[in-house]
Amino acid sequence: MRFETTLHRPVEVSGVGLHHGVPVNLRVTPAPPSTGLVFIRTDLDRFAIPASWRHVARVSYATSLMRQGVLISTTEHLLSTFYSLGIDNAYIEIDNLEVPILDGSGQPFVELVLQAGIRDHRRQRRYLRINRPVSIEDHGKRITILPAETFRLTCDIDFPHPMIDKQAIELEVTPERYASQIAANKTLGLFGSMVRSTAPERSLRNRTLVHVVPPSLERKTPRSAFAPYGWPSAETYTMSGLVG
């Protein structure tokens, strides 16, 4: 895409937050060129929080943005979808502190964008070019960014659990591939781990719309046994979160 884009018409959706369990209404409207993606807290006098690295506040179990003490939590599915489908400019009106989890994946946001349609602006898009490799490693986790002519992701995960184990995927991220191979993968959690967790940043107050494994199955059921029921691919869900 050579030109900046926005939505063709407003769209809206309602749901419940995953971590805080709050009801929330979300409405996305078109925005002028060079606006970017901007969250608008309609419950706080339309306070604006641009979706920028400058406002990233927390990335533990969710990507949260904060400006002047005002929080927007669990933005990763929405931002991942908008970036991958090429949406540059939009106002995201929200009346609570957390984006609704919906079905636990990015798929509902893909459908929201398709419902709204995409409109080109008459302004050329600017791109961030990576000129040299950058790598960060911490506590057994590593992310490396390399120069390339396309946006390609390689994700490897090695989690000591029979339902996750070792997984890997390499994929050039395009709107079509995101919609067909990445967006539908859902948040997953191990029930025993969630119950044992008492830290506020790790609590899940809405567990009904994500894949949750009961304690009786956590350590003895292979991941393949749940494939017919839509059990997510951990590496593609990680890829979705990384894009967001």
Domain ranges of the chain: 3-124, 139-243
Query: 113 φ, ψ to 5°?
Result: -65, -45
CATH code for the part of the protein at 3-124 = 3.30.230.20
Encode pLDDT of 91-130 as tens digits.
999 999 999 999 888 999 999 999 999 999 999 999 889 9
pLDDT of 87 over the 70 cut: yes
Angle between helices 234-243 and 76-84 (to 10 degrees): 80
The more confidently predicted of residues 83 and 188 is 83
- Rounded distance between C-alpha atoms, residue 215 and residue 207, angstroms: 15
pLDDT band at 139 (very low <50, low <70, confident <90, very high): confident
Q: What is the mean pLDDT of the chain?
A: 82
Read off the pLDDT of residues 188-239 as tens digits, 9 standing for 90 and up: 655 444 444 434 444 455 444 444 555 555 455 555 554 544 444 544 545 5
The pTM (predicted TM-score) of the whole model is 0.80
Query: How many whole angstroms from its chain centre is CA 46?
Result: 23
Rounded CA separation 145/152 (Å): 10
pLDDT value at residue 222 = 52
- Per-residue pLDDT tens over the stretch 24-64: 999 999 999 999 999 999 999 999 999 999 999 977 778 89
